[in-house]
Amino acid sequence: MVDKVQSVFVAELIDEQTTFTMADLCRACAVEAELIESLVEQGILEPSGRRGRHWEFPSSSLRRTRVTLHLQRDLGVNLAGAALALDLLERIQQLDQDLRALRGGADARQAAKPESS
């Protein structure tokens, strides 16, 4: 008899207007509040509202926290290094989007250009 292993993945789409409380973010990332506070102190996360459990975090905080955890746990990067890496990764992403937009505009201009004989 063959044993079958099934994996179930649960995903939740989060729009840009979604905010998280400290408890939500801790739960979603399986971390303690002290780590989130350290991420805020390092400038990795930028909450709004009063300090502590009254903080509200933008949806981007979930990704930034998870990337930081990966950098720390898997690669041994400290928080200052993680902050730098996140900034550089976001800059690369922005440059990539800009380049695609420029290429898209150039392709559209080329397609609209009449062929010369």
CATH of the domain at 40: 1.10.1660.10
Indicate whether 10 belongs to any domain.
no
Give the closest residue to 18 by CA, choosing from 46, 54, 58, 45. 58
Task: Determine the structural domain holding residue 91 and report its residue range.
Answer: 19-110
116 within some domain? no
Give the predicted TM-score (pTM) of the model: 0.73
pLDDT at 61 over 70: yes
State how many domains the chain has.
Answer: 1
In sequence order, what are the residues at sequence separation of 6 or more whose Cβ sits closer than 8 angstroms to the Cβ of residue 48?
55, 56
51 against 65, higher pLDDT: 65
Runs of H (alpha helix) within 13-78? 22-29, 33-41, 60-75
Average confidence score pLDDT of the chain: 86
Determine, yes or no, domain membership for 115. no
Is 63 part of a structural domain of the chain? yes
- Decide if 45 is inside a domain: yes
Residue 68 lies in a domain: yes
- Per-residue pLDDT tens for 7-56? 665 555 666 778 999 999 999 999 999 999 999 999 999 999 888 778 99
